[in-house]
């Protein structure tokens, strides 16, 4: 199989007009580890090859990113017990990347702009969302947010692994 299958999950939570099915992943710089290795998302995603490690969904890699630096993302991965989490480690299937300036978040139009968090000083954060892309093209996107829960913390179900697996399997049937 020569198709890139990528699930991208952002886990820090908030925009209404955001990335849509059919959009291409933006060419932005993310950071891996410390000192940060600079990764260009669109070319990194296209360079990955499919293997049979994730049989059910056929997922090549899960990328977790947030508006933070590579050092914080590495510490988070270590704290969770994730091994082989850096972008250049071919043994890993879960990669933690930092979006230190929020560029990817803005390009995907996933910046948390609800006045509640902003009034509390939470500026430039990312909504809680999950995205599935094949060959760098978005096939599915889900956002966990509601008027009374702009960050998706109370009801994150749409972006959790079970929901994404169901979505990926249904989208794969259409490919």
CA distances from 111 to 29, 52, 77, 81, 94 (A): 17, 34, 23, 28, 23
Q: Taking Cα atoms as reference points, which of 80, 78, 73, 60 lies closest to residue 100?
A: 73
33 compared with 22, residue with greater pLDDT: 22
Residue (of 124, 64, 126) closest to 97 by Cα position: 64
Q: CA 79 to CA 89: how far, in whole Å? A: 18
Give pLDDT tens digits for 8-26: 333 333 333 588 888 988 8
pLDDT of residue 173: 64
Q: Tokens standing for 121?
A: 């000083």
The pTM of this model reads: 0.74
Instruction: Judge residue 33's burial from the number of C-beta atoms within 10 Å of its C-beta, 0-12 exposed, 13-18 middle, 19 or more buried.
Output: buried
Stretch among 6-10, 63-67, 119-123 having the lowest mean pLDDT: 6-10
Interatomic CA distance for residues 143 and 172, integer angstroms: 20
Rounded distance between C-alpha atoms, residue 59 and residue 6, angstroms: 6
Say if residue 153's pLDDT is above 60.
yes
């Amino acid at each position: 199989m020569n198709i890139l299958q990528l699930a991208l999950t952002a886990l820090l939570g908030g925009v209404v007009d955001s990335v849509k099915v059919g959009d291409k992943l933006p060419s932005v710089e993310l950071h891996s580890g410390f000192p940060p290795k600079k990764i260009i998302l669109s070319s990194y995603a296209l360079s990955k090859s499919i293997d049979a490690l994730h049989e059910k969904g056929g997922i090549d890699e899960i990328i977790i990113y947030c508006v933070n630096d590579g050092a914080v993302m590495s510490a988070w991965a270590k704290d969770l017990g994730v091994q082989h989490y850096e972008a250049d480690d071919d043994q890993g299937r879960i990669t933690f990347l930092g979006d230190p300036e929020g560029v990817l978040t803005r390009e995907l139009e996933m910046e948390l702009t609800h006045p509640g968090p902003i009034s509390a000083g939470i500026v430039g954060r990312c909504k809680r969302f999950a995205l599935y892309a094949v060959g760098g093209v978005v096939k599915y996107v889900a956002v966990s947010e509601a008027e009374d829960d702009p960050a998706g913390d109370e009801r994150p179900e749409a972006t959790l692994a079970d929901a994404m697996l169901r979505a990926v399997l249904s989208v794969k049937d259409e490919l």
